[in-house]
Structure 1
Amino acid sequence: MRLYLDTFVFMDILSGSEYAGPAKSYIEMMRKGATGVVSSVLFAELSFHLTKRKGKDKAEEVLIYIQSLPNVEIVPVSEEIAKKAGRLRARYAGRIQKKLTYFDCIHLATAVLSQCNKFVTGDRGFSDIKDIEVEVY
């Protein structure tokens, strides 16, 4: 099983939100053998939010922790992913309720091109995406 973990998964865990438990279940699935795929863009998003809220040292600690997770696959943004992201943004612009950002589309493109079985997120705005099975926890 290849699960794409959106930034929402990590933000919910780190914030201790009411969705932290369901989000943590995907990390547990990785411990049991599932591959957790993330984009390198995750590190830009988390670095920003964590540095702002908890400081640079805590942000770095969390990023190192993510890199050390069992069965994690970190996919750099390639030219192919960038092109796919642009096409996805064009396809869904104005056609779904959520306004997809370039980061959103890079995550989606990475999931699709990395042949993930599911795109896991806490963001219900992804529910209308048709290119990959979206699992909103």
Structure 2
Amino acid sequence: MGLKQAAFATELRRLKKVGLDTSILIYHLEDIEPYTDLTEVTFSAIAEGLPRAILSMISVTELLVQPFARGEEDRITIFEQFILSLPNTDLVPPTYTIAKEAARLRAKYAIRTPDALLISTALSEKAEAFLTNDSRLRSLKAEGVSILVLDDFS
């Protein structure tokens, strides 16, 4: 494990809860380099319970669009099994409160609706950090959530 990966592992394991961007799941399930090592660290830490993961149901939609579009029933099954078997993970449905907070975040930070929903879900569950690879989301640190960007550690 390189120095940046070790720093990432240390940062991740100090958290109690972390929100996950859909991209983290995609990178892991599609084995996308150079992120595979970091997603392995992420899901190993979550499996051990440090941190607990917060995953929005919106991520299920985002994750399954391409397999449905390509008619890849086997990938749909693999992706669903992965999501539903993740230990130490809260799969959180959207609520009115989450949607309202997402609207506020979208208006204040000019972020995309799916990003706003994912982050408002993480905030609603008291996540200390949000793991993504979208550096544009760094501005949300002002909301009291650390934004961990994979590219900073790869």
TM-score, normalising length from structure 2?
A: 0.79
The CA distance in 2 between the partners of 1:21 and 1:79, in whole Å, is 36
- Cα-to-partner distance string for 1:95-134 (whole Å, 9 max, x where unaligned): xxxxx21111000100111100110012222122221111
Tell me the residue number matched to 1:26: 42
Q: What amino acid sits opposite 2:123 in the alignment?
A: V
Name stretches of at least 5 consecutive residues in structure 2 with no aligned partner: 1-15
Equivalent residue in structure 2 for 1:85, among 88, 102, 106: 102
Distance 1:54 1:24, change over 3 A: farther
Q: What amino acid sits opposite 1:51 in the alignment?
A: F
Aligned partners of 1:47 and 1:60 also within 8 Å: no
Aligned residues: 131
Sequence identity (%): 27
TM-score, normalising length from structure 1?
A: 0.88
The CA distance in 1 between the partners of 2:81 and 2:60, in whole Å, is 10
Q: What amino acid sits opposite 1:123 in the alignment?
A: D
Tell me the residue number matched to 2:65: 48
RMSD between superposed Cα atoms in Å: 1.4
Aligned partners of 1:5 and 1:37 also within 8 Å: yes
Aligned partners of 1:85 and 1:102 also within 8 Å: yes
Tell me the residue number matched to 1:110: 121
Distance 1:80 1:116, change over 3 A: same
Aligned with 2:127: secondary structure?
Answer: coil
| Residue 64 of structure 1: how far off its partner (Å) | 2.1
Aligned partners of 2:109 and 2:139 also within 8 Å: no
The CA distance in 1 between the partners of 2:53 and 2:131, in whole Å, is 10
The CA distance in 2 between the partners of 1:106 and 1:35, in whole Å, is 19
| Residue 50 of structure 1: how far off its partner (Å) | 2.8
Q: What amino acid sits opposite 1:39 in the alignment?
A: S
The CA distance in 2 between the partners of 1:54 and 1:14, in whole Å, is 17
The CA distance in 1 between the partners of 2:71 and 2:87, in whole Å, is 25
- Structure in which a larger fraction of residues adopt helix: 2
Name stretches of at least 5 consecutive residues in structure 1 with no aligned partner: 94-99
Tell me the residue number matched to 2:139: 128
